[in-house]
């Protein structure tokens, strides 16, 4: 009898441990598909003819000291979100060989540095948002069907997966600010209209769960900290994006949209840098030929081009995933767990 009891207890613990383990390893969504600029690029530009390429030390110093093409010292925001969703890091589309392309079911990264929503926002060769979506279309029409066989399995995969889009900064820095040919409000409307059209293409391909990033305070780059005139020009974009994504959700049946307002959140970091562990938020950690800081966790900016440090990206990832300040109308965890309407 005693032995039997012992066995029961043991068996309960074993089962419990087994199920807990399985549960922990199970991803929250089937895949994370990533679209964007240097904020998310994890190696696509390594394969392109451009000066916007960072496959050299010390980029990646905190990514096992490997310069993968990520524009920061460690993981990108997209990497950090993938980890929180318990997914592998989505590989760069241009880094996949033909045969690998249709073996990846957990998401792909199409982001490309120095590129934008508009095709003429660019430096040299890069993947504009249209080009990124063209490659995603190829994944959906050529690669994924080989893995899923049945059409409804693929449709489920696409509708439950998350689409992370972070692009628009270069439409200001490499385009609008060179020219200022429209009023700021008009340009924001125009950009968001273009972005919406491209998002509809993703929806038509089967995407339903969207995360759309705004443009940060571009007036606060390490070189000019902070040009409030520039910030005021960029600001309408974040405000309009929040409204537009909610319109899209109403318009596109079964879709769920969240927007990330990094513009507003950055005020918090600016007002209380020490609270977030930063000693100086205007100075970059790394300046080519000049310095590489000793403690990378103390710096908001990683390089002089305004790319953020992994420490800063972790703050954004933590709050947008499970907090309440950055994302509207819900955080990423809630988006991941929500049933499709």
Ligand X SMILES: *[C@@H]1O[C@H](CO)[C@@H](O)[C@H](O)[C@H]1NC(C)=O
CA 237 – CA 263 distance, rounded (Å)? 9
Q: Is 303 a catalytic residue?
A: yes
Q: Is 130 a catalytic residue?
A: no
- Alpha helices, DSSP H, located in 88-227: 98-101, 129-138, 144-148, 151-160, 169-173, 184-205
Catalytic residue among 62, 121, 307, 309: 307
C-beta of 64 vs 253, nearer to ligand X: 64
C-beta of 248 vs 293, nearer to ligand X: 293
CB atoms within 10 A of CB 299: 26
CB of 315 to ligand X, least distance (A): 18
Residue 117: partners with Cβ closer than 8 Å, 6 or more residues away: 128, 129, 167, 168, 171, 191, 194, 195, 198
CB of 273 to ligand X, least distance (A): 8
Catalytic residue among 37, 38, 157, 171: 38
- For 90, the 3-state DSSP assignment is coil
C-beta of 179 vs 253, nearer to ligand X: 179
C-beta of 24 vs 294, nearer to ligand X: 294
The site for ligand X (CB under 6 A) is made up of: 57, 65, 119-120, 175, 177-179, 181, 224, 227, 229-230, 280, 282-283
**Integer CA distances (angstroms), 77 to 72, 267, 278, in order:** 10, 19, 18
- 322-325 contact pairs (CB < 8 A, 24+): 322/84, 325/265, 325/268
Q: In what order do the strands lie in the sheet with 32-36?
A: 32-36, 162-166, 209-213, 256-260, 327-328
Structure tokens at 266: 């950055």
CB of 91 to ligand X, least distance (A): 22
CB of 236 to ligand X, least distance (A): 14
C-beta of 3 vs 65, nearer to ligand X: 65
In the chain, what's the furthest Cα-to-Cα distance? 86
CB of 216 to ligand X, least distance (A): 15
For 261-316, strand residue ranges (E) read 280-287, 291-292, 299-303
Q: What share of the chain is helix, strand, coil (3-state, %, to 5)?
A: 50, 10, 40
Catalytic residue among 255, 303, 319, 320: 303
C-alpha atoms less than 13 angstroms from C-alpha of 193 in its C-beta half-sphere: 6
C-beta of 132 vs 175, nearer to ligand X: 175
List the helix and strand counts (H, then E) for the chain: 12, 8
CB of 262 to ligand X, least distance (A): 20
Sign of CA dihedral 51, 43, 231, 210: positive
Would you please indicate which residues are annotated as catalytic (active-site) residues?
38, 303, 307
């Amino acid at each position: 009898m005693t032995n039997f009891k012992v066995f029961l207890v043991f068996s309960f613990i074993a089962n419990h441990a087994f199920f807990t383990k399985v549960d922990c390893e199970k991803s929250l969504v089937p895949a994370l598909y990533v679209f964007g600029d240097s904020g998310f690029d994890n190696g696509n530009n390594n394969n392109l003819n451009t000066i916007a390429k960072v496959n050299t030390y010390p980029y990646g110093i905190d990514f096992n000291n490997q310069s993968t093409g990520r524009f920061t010292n460690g993981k990108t925001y997209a990497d950090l979100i993938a980890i929180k969703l318990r997914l592998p890091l989505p590989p760069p589309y241009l880094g996949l060989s033909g045969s690998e392309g249709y073996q990846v079911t957990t998401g792909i990264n199409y982001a490309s540095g120095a590129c934008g929503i508009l095709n003429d926002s660019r430096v040299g060769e890069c993947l504009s948002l249209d080009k990124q979506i063209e490659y995603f279309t190829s994944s959906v029409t050529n690669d994924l069907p080989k893995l899923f066989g049945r059409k409804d399995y693929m449709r489920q995969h696409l509708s439950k997966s998350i689409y992370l889009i972070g692009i628009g900064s270069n439409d200001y820095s490499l385009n609008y600010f060179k020219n200022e040919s429209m009023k700021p409000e008009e340009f924001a409307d125009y950009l968001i209209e273009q972005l919406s059209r491209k998002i509809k293409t993703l929806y038509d391909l089967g995407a339903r769960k969207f995360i759309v990033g705004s443009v940060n305070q571009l007036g606060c780059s390490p070189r000019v900290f902070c040009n409030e005139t520039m910030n005021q020009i960029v600001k309408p974009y974040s405000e309009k994006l929040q409204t537009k994504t909610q319109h899209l959700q109403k318009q596109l049946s079964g879709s769920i949209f969240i927007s990330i307002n990094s513009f507003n959140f950055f005020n918090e970091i600016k007002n209380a840098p020490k609270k977030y562990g930063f000693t100086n938020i205007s100075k970059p950690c790394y300046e080519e030929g000049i310095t590489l800081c000793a403690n990378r966790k103390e710096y908001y900016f990683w390089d002089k081009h305004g790319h953020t440090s992994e420490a800063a990206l972790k703050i954004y990832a933590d709050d947008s995933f499970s907090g309440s300040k950055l994302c509207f109308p819900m955080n990423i965890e809630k988006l991941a767990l929500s049933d499709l309407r």
